[in-house]
Amino acid sequence: MISESRIASLRQTGRLSGAVWCPSPNFGPRPEGAGISLLVVHNISLPPGQFGGPEIQDFFCNRLDPTAHPYFETIAGVQVSAHALIRRDGKVIQFVSLLDRAWHAGRSCFDGREECNDFSIGIELEGADDIPYTEAQYQRLADIARQVMAAWPEIGPGRITGHSDIAPGRKTDPGPAFDWSHFMACLTAPRGFGENA
């Protein structure tokens, strides 16, 4: 169970408990009355397919060195963010308050409503479309999902989606490696992993 005080705190501050705060300048206010009613799952790795470095934080904080890797030149100057990143070991880094509008979805549509950034929370898994995610990531994502579902009850299991589902043909993440049925099982059978961390 998630305590009432935890839910109240999340609704007031937008900060996930146990997350390292690494503020990104890439966010804005949500439009008046937009509400928070969708959770979007993404993946990212920088350089692609490599894990563990500081480059994702650098990218979301507009300080990625474009000369450090050929791929980085292709994304130089792109200003994006997500609310949080779950690393391979399950550690969570938060970039934007859940109350604010992070820049993760781009051109997108869910259930007929466009501009998903307005009303969604975006969570990145450190990973790639075809590389299995870690159990720590499934558990931590489920932990975060339970918290946001408690704080914003409009987010039911049917309103947890992948970036590829809201931007088909343009985005492929979290990819075939993301096991949705396993994630849904984690969501309904909490292990208590990090729940009060």
Closest distance of CB 164 from Zn ion, Å:
8
Nearer Cβ to Zn ion, position 173 or 195? Answer: 173
Amino acid at 130: D
Nearer Cβ to Zn ion, position 30 or 163? Answer: 163
Closest distance of CB 26 from Zn ion, Å:
14
Contact 121, 38 (CB under 8 A): yes
Distance CA 76, CA 184 (A): 36
User: Does residue 83 touch Zn ion according to CB under 5 A?
Assistant: no
Nearer Cβ to Zn ion, position 80 or 195? Answer: 80
Task: Show the CA angle centred on residue 115, arms to residues 113 and 116, nearest 5°.
Answer: 80
Total binding residues for Zn ion by CB under 5 A?
Answer: 3
Listed in sequence order, the residues at least 6 apart from 150 whose beta carbon sits closer than 8 Å to its beta carbon are 2, 6, 7, 10
Site for Zn ion in 86-145 (CB under 5 A): none
Contact 88, 20 (CB under 8 A): no
Any catalytic annotation for residue 124? yes
Q: Of the residues 55, 124, 126, 195, which is catalytic?
A: 124
Site for Zn ion in 16-45 (CB under 5 A): 42
User: From the list 118, 126, 143, 173, which residue makes contact with Zn ion (rule: CB under 5 A)?
Assistant: 173
Which residue's entry shows tokens 């993301």?
178
Binding residues vs Zn ion (CB under 5 A): 42, 163, 173
